Chains A and B, each alone.
Chain A
Amino acid sequence: MPQTISIRIDGELVSALQGQTILEAAKQAGKYIPTLCYFEGLSAVGACRLCIVEVAGTDKLLPACTTPVQDGMSVTTTSPKLTQYRRIALELLFVERNHVCAVCVSNGHCELQNLATSLGITNMRHWYNYPNLPVDLSHKRFVLDHNRCILCTRCVRVCAEVEGAHVWEITERGISSRLTSGLNQPWGQVTDCTNCGKCVQVCPTGALAEKGWAVEEMVKQNDNISGLAHRKGGQ
Chain B
Amino acid sequence: MPPIQDIGAFNAVREAGLAKLLPPVPRVAIGMGTCGRGNGAEGIYHAFADLIGRTGMDVKLVSVGCFGACFQEPMVNIRLPGEPLLVLRRVQIDDVARLLQDISSGRITPELVYCKLEEWDHITSTVKYGRGYPEVPSWTEVAFFKGQKKIVLRNCGLINPDDIEEYIGIGGYQTLYNVLIDGRPDFVVEQVKASKLRGRGGAGFLTGNKWDFLAKSKTDPKYIICNADEGDPGAYMNRNEIEGDPHSLLEGMIIGAYAMGASQGIIYIRAEYPLAVHRLRRAIQNAREYGLLGNNVLGRGFKFDIEVVEGAGAFVCGEETALIASLEGQAGRPRPRPPFPAQKGLWGKPTNINNVETWFNIAPIVSKGPAWFSETGSTKSSGTKVFSLVGKVHNTGLVEMPFGTPLKTFIYDVGEGGSTPGRAIKAVQTGGPSGGCIPREMFDTPVDYETLQQLGAIMGSGGMVVMDEDNCMVDVARFFIEFTHSESCGKCVPCRVGLDKCLRILTGITKGIPGMRDRLEHLDELARMIRDCSLCGLGQTAPNPVLTAMRHFRTEFEDHLLARHCEAGVCQDLALSPCENSCPLRMNIPRFLQLYQENQIEDAFLSVILDNPLPGSTGRVCQHPCTMRCRRQTLDEPVNIRDVHRLIADTVFASNNFESIVKRIIARKLEPTGRKVAVAGAGPTGLTAAFYLALLGHDVTAFDEKPEAGGMLRFAIPEYRLPKAVLRREIELIERLGVNFVFNTKVGIDLPLNELADRFDAVFISIGTWKDSWLYLPGTELKGVHSALGLLEKMSRGIPAPIGPKVAVIGGGNAAIDSARSALRAGAEVTIYYRRDRSDMPAIEEETLAAEEEGARIVFQALPHRIIGDQDGAVRAIEIEKTRLGEFDKSGRRKPVTTGEIQRYECDTVVLAVGETFDLDFCKASGLELKEEGTLIVNRFTLETSRPYFYAGGDVITGGSNVSNAMGFGKQAARNIDERLMGEKRWDRLFPEFTYSQQPPAEPSGSRRHNGHLIELMLRSRSNEEVVTGITPKEAHEESCRCLRCDVKTNVSAS
**Interface residues of A, Cβ cutoff 8 Å to B:** 44-49, 52, 60-61, 63, 66-68, 84-85, 88-89, 92-93, 95-96, 125-127, 129, 150-151, 169-170, 172-177
Contacts and interface: CB of A to CB of B under 8 A. Distances in A.
B490 A61 contact: no
B490 A177 contact: yes
A157 to B, nearest CB: 13
Contact of A47 (B492, B504, B532): B492
A48 B492 CA distance: 6
B895 to A, nearest CB: 39
B343 to A, nearest CB: 11
Nearest to B504: A127
B490 A176 contact: yes
B1028 to A, nearest CB: 54
A96 B496 CA distance: 9
Given A47-B535, A85-B533, A175-B500, A170 B336 contact: no
Contacts of B535: 46-47, 49, 63
22 contacts: A45-B336, A46-B336, A46-B492, A47-B491, A49-B534, A61-B532, A61-B533, A63-B535, A85-B533, A88-B498, A92-B498, A95-B501, A129-B500, A151-B496, A170-B331, A170-B333, A170-B491, A172-B490, A174-B499, A175-B499, A177-B490, A177-B496
A174 B500 CA distance: 9
Contact of B491 (A45, A61, A92, A176): A45
Nearest to B532: A61
Contacts of A172: 490
Given A93-B493, A177-B496, 9 more contacts: A45-B491, A84-B529, A85-B529, A89-B494, A89-B529, A92-B501, A93-B497, A170-B333, A174-B499
Closest 4 CB pairs of A and B: A177-B490, A92-B497, A66-B336, A46-B336
A175 B493 contact: no
Interface stretch (B266-274, B288-296, B481-489, B596-604): B481-489
Interface in B476-534: 485-494, 496-501, 504, 522, 525-526, 529, 532-534
Nearest to A150: B493
A31 B253 CA distance: 48
Nearest to A172: B490
Given A46-B535, A92-B498, A126 B490 contact: no
Q: How large is the interface on B (under 10, 10 to 19, 20 to 34, 35 or more residues)?
A: 20 to 34
A175 B485 CA distance: 8
A174 B522 contact: no
B252 to A, nearest CB: 31
A96 B526 contact: no
A175 B491 CA distance: 10
Contacts of B499: 174-175
Contact of A174 (B336, B489, B493, B529): B489
A68 B338 contact: yes
A84 B522 CA distance: 12
A45 B526 CA distance: 22
Contacts of B336: 44-46, 63, 66
Is chain B's binding surface mostly helix, strand, loop or mixed?
helix
A23 to B, nearest CB: 12
A53 to B, nearest CB: 11
A81 to B, nearest CB: 8
Contacts of A127: 504
Contacts of A46: 336, 492, 535
Contacts of A52: 533
Contact of B496 (A60, A169, A175): A175
A67 B526 CA distance: 24
A174 B492 contact: no
A150 B522 CA distance: 22
A174 B488 contact: yes
Interface in B520-560: 522, 525-526, 529, 532-535
Interface string B840-865: 00000000000000000000000000
A89 B493 contact: yes
A175 B488 contact: yes
B494 A92 contact: yes
Contacts of B500: 96, 129, 174-175
Contacts of B488: 173-175
A219 B532 CA distance: 35
Interface centre among A47, A95, A174 (most CB of B within 10 A): A174
B504 A151 contact: no
Contacts of A44: 336
B516 to A, nearest CB: 10
A88 B529 contact: yes
B497 A95 contact: yes
A161 to B, nearest CB: 15
A176 to B, nearest CB: 7
A147 B501 CA distance: 18
Interface centre among B333, B486, B496 (most CB of A within 10 A): B496
Contacts of A174: 485-490, 496, 499-500
A98 to B, nearest CB: 14
B85 to A, nearest CB: 48
A44 B339 CA distance: 12
Nearest to A49: B533
B518 to A, nearest CB: 9
A120 B1006 CA distance: 67
A44 B499 CA distance: 23
Contacts of B333: 170
B487 to A, nearest CB: 7
Contacts of A175: 485, 488, 490, 496-497, 499-500
Contacts of B314: 173
Interface centre among B488, B504, B522, B533 (most CB of A within 10 A): B533
A41 B535 CA distance: 21
Contacts of B529: 84-85, 88-89
A49 B493 contact: yes
Contacts of B490: 151, 170, 172-177
Nearest to A63: B336
Nearest to A93: B493
Nearest to A62: B336
Given A127-B504, A174-B485, A176-B490, A85 B532 contact: yes
A60 B501 CA distance: 23
A60 B529 CA distance: 12
A96 B497 CA distance: 6
A95 B314 CA distance: 26
A11 B936 CA distance: 54
A58 B878 CA distance: 65
Contacts of B491: 45, 47, 170
A84 B528 CA distance: 11
A183 to B, nearest CB: 14
Contacts of A170: 331, 333, 490-491
A111 B497 CA distance: 19
A138 B463 CA distance: 49
A165 B52 CA distance: 66
A212 B756 CA distance: 79
A233 B772 CA distance: 87
Given A47-B491, A48-B493, A125 B522 contact: yes
Contacts of A85: 529, 532-533
Contacts of B534: 49
Contacts of A93: 493, 497
Nearest to A44: B336
A150 B493 CA distance: 9
Given A174-B486, A174-B488, A174-B489, A49 B496 contact: no
A223 B331 CA distance: 31
Interface string B452-490: 000000000000000000000000000000000111111
B525 A88 contact: yes
A67 B497 contact: no
Contacts of B497: 92-93, 95-96, 175
B511 to A, nearest CB: 14
Interface string B311-327: 00010100000000000
Contacts of B316: 173
